[in-house]
Amino acid sequence: MNPLFIVFTLALLVAQFALPQRFAFAPLLIAACHFQNVPVIQVGVNFDVAKLVILAGLIRAARENSLAWTTRQPLDLLVAAWAGWLLISGFAHNPPDHNPITIRLSLIYGMAGTYLYSRAFIRNPEDYFRYVKCLAVVVIPLALLVLYEKYAQQNIYGMLAGDSSEVTIREGRVRAAGPFAHPILLGTFAATSLVLLAPLYNKYKYWYIAGTVACVVTVFGSASSGPIVTLGSGLMGLAIWRWRTSVGRIRTLVILVFLGLHLAMQAPVWYLMARIDLAGGSTGWHRAELITAALNHLDEWWLVGTDYTRHWIAYGVTWSQYQVDITNYYIGMGVTGGLPLLLLFVAILVKVFQLLGRRMQTLRRANDHREFILWSVGASLFAHCFTFLSISYFDQSYIPLMLVIGAVTGLCAERAAVHENPIMEDRFDMGELQD
């Protein structure tokens, strides 16, 4: 591990305690975007940079009495139930190649810890808008290093972390991964982040343009079809803004279209993924076949998950003789903890959309321009939900997702209209957002 990596890690930990509270979220965002998921401390479990920052942040939040969790918030209860079942279901597993309880505790610590971190430091629309501005700044150096990786064929992040600096090349295309474990995860982060930047356009146009260009460069630097589709789904979500009052009808129409295609096609509708290849070398067929295999073997994993999926598909993966490549986050949840874990995860996502939808209705009645901020959050989460069909988040990719999910409770707790609190209009520095 390069000494600079240790220096940067210590700098982030110091910053977590030294920064003003309004920027206390920044160290974890930087850790997720610019540090590889490699162990820094090993004490029975591995602590990478992000997990150390989470720990520092939660300690600070506890000292400042800003930790937030309540039984009156359904989203808090769902996250707790998801974490509880993830741990309990682990006692029904006995894989030969790892300790299931250790792995699950690490996952709970990472995802639930990030959620609590976000609840502590992104507590209202002002905090969230600062988060978006910080995101625009953070993705710019990421894009520059991705460009370097693509053309110099050397991963700077890997060199700093003491990992391999080699890059992935498929069908003659360099697939940059940056600090992430896979090019698709890098591109997915950039694609979902671009959508979050939309509210910056009117007030901070130059930062919006710079951040957007950086995200686009990063998406195409990953040279993967999945992130391009994810970006398209997020932009489509933003485009529906003008028809936001008709979302229910649009959702019904989309469901009917997919049902119609499912009935008309010779193969199930999810085999449409097999036809998508925007960057060359796509494995869409595997993703479609995985859904079919999971349904065919539902009896093996529906209750608490399973430790063996190698027989689902004719080929496996090089890193495990017991598993196939679970390139589907929903199925990954099911394999880990059965239908209860999968349904709890889906319930978290549904509750987030419900909170956003109800709050947007209130803001719409008050003609409050902050409605668009919530809409951009929903569009980004929609892009996440879409990409879950084609990739599992297995490195630090959960952090940007859970930061936004944790911020939703604060975003949706504000009063209905700016004019109800005249001070807010000055403090909430985002400018006018027009239809």
For each of the chain's 435 residues, which pLDDT tens digit applies? 788 999 999 999 999 999 999 999 999 999 999 999 998 987 767 899 999 999 999 999 999 999 999 999 999 999 999 999 999 999 999 998 889 999 999 999 999 999 999 999 999 999 999 999 999 999 999 999 999 999 999 999 999 987 766 788 877 788 999 999 999 999 999 999 999 999 999 899 999 999 999 999 999 999 988 999 999 999 999 999 999 999 889 989 999 998 998 899 988 989 888 877 665 556 788 999 999 999 999 999 999 999 999 999 988 888 889 999 999 999 999 999 999 999 999 999 999 999 999 999 999 999 998 999 999 999 999 999 999 999 999 999 999 999 999 999 999 985 534 434 433 333 334 443 333
Distance CA 410, CA 119 (A): 7
Query: For 267, left (φ over 0), alpha (ψ -120 to 50), or beta?
Result: beta
- b/e map of 273-293 (b: 16 or more CB within 10 Å)? bbebeebeebbbebbbbbbeb
Is 435 inside any structural domain?
no
Distance CA 175, CA 320 (A): 23
Q: Both tokens of residue 26?
A: 């920044």
Total domains present in the chain: 1
**What's the alpha-carbon Rg for the chain, to the nearest Å?**
21
Nearest to 86 by CA among 62, 67, 104: 104
Distance CA 213, CA 322 (A): 41
- Structural domain containing residue 199: 3-427
Is 314 inside any structural domain?
yes
Q: Enumerate residues 6+ apart whose C-beta is below 8 A from 114.
A: 28, 54, 398, 399, 402, 403, 406
**Which residue type sits at 356?**
L
Query: Sign of torsion, CA 380 86 110 180?
Result: negative
Neighbours of 381 (CB within 10 A): 23
Question: Given this model, what pLDDT does residue 433 score?
Answer: 39
- Return contacts of 16-24, CB within 8 angstroms, 24+ apart: 16/53, 16/56, 16/57, 16/60, 17/56, 17/60, 21/64, 21/66, 21/121, 22/126, 22/127, 22/130, 23/130, 23/134, 24/57, 24/60, 24/120, 24/121
Question: Given this model, what pLDDT does residue 425 score?
Answer: 39
Is 350 inside any structural domain?
yes
Nearest to 326 by CA among 266, 297, 286: 286
Distance CA 45, CA 52 (A): 12
Per DSSP, the residues of 274-315 read GG--SSSS--HHHHHHHHHHHHHTHHHHTTT--S--TTSSS-
Distance CA 361, CA 287 (A): 37
Q: Both tokens of residue 403?
A: 């930061």
